[in-house]
């Protein structure tokens, strides 16, 4: 196993040149992502405080439950709301589960950019993810950090994505 790949049990971390918003447009529910926990919204690490004030959260406010400083919402409702009225603009963090997690995200755990995940940051989230049966974590910033359950060749392919060079800025 390469030390360049961040892997723990059946979790692997990676990076894609995309955003939370764009990824949600193509994400479909296979039963493992029925609930979403939004723990950062546009750099605000307390989306629960925005639940009743944010125009972007208005479509999901009645379906959202507060969990720690995050908002727990049915994933399908979150995807539909973001497709209608964009919710995610950058530096966002969303975790997906087959069942609602019992514990909020630990305060020190984060997958948000702008930097890619490293071993130290990965170690802070992996136990909570496993204990909560988290299927997918997305952290926007400059690109999209992710942690996903994967095995076999998919695990190696996704895990190697974290080493991909960042795209060069296009000339203005």
**144-158 per-position pLDDT tens digit:** 999 999 878 877 878
Is the bond preceding 99 in cis, omega lying within 30 degrees of 0? no
pTM above 0.85, yes or no: yes
Closest by Cα among 93, 34, 98, 33 to 68? 93
Average pLDDT over residues 57-67: 93
Query: CB 89: neighbour CB atoms within 10 A?
Result: 14
On whether the CB atoms of residues 32 and 10 are closer than 8 A, the answer is no
125-135 tens-digit pLDDT: 999 999 999 99
97-126 tens-digit pLDDT: 999 999 999 988 999 999 999 999 999 999
Token duo for residue 42: 């546009």
The residues spanned by each domain of the chain are 7-163
């Amino acid at each position: 196993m390469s030390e360049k790949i961040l892997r723990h049990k059946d979790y692997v971390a990676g990076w894609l040149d995309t955003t939370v918003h764009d990824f949600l447009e193509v994400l479909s529910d296979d039963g493992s992502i029925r609930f979403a926990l939004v723990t950062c919204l546009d750099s605000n690490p307390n989306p629960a405080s925005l639940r009743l004030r944010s125009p972007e959260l208005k479509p999901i406010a009645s379906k959202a439950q507060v969990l720690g400083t995050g908002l727990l919402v049915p994933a399908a409702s979150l995807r539909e709301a973001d497709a209608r009225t964009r919710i995610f603009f950058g530096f966002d963090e969303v975790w997906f589960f087959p069942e609602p997690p019992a514990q909020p995200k630990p305060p020190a755990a984060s997958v948000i950019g702008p930097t890619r995940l490293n071993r130290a940051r990965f170690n802070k989230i992996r136990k909570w993810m496993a204990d909560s049966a988290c299927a997918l974590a997305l952290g926007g910033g400059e690109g999209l950090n992710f942690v996903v359950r994967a095995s076999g060749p998919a695990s190696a392919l996704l895990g190697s994505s974290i080493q991909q060079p960042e795209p060069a800025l296009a000339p203005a």
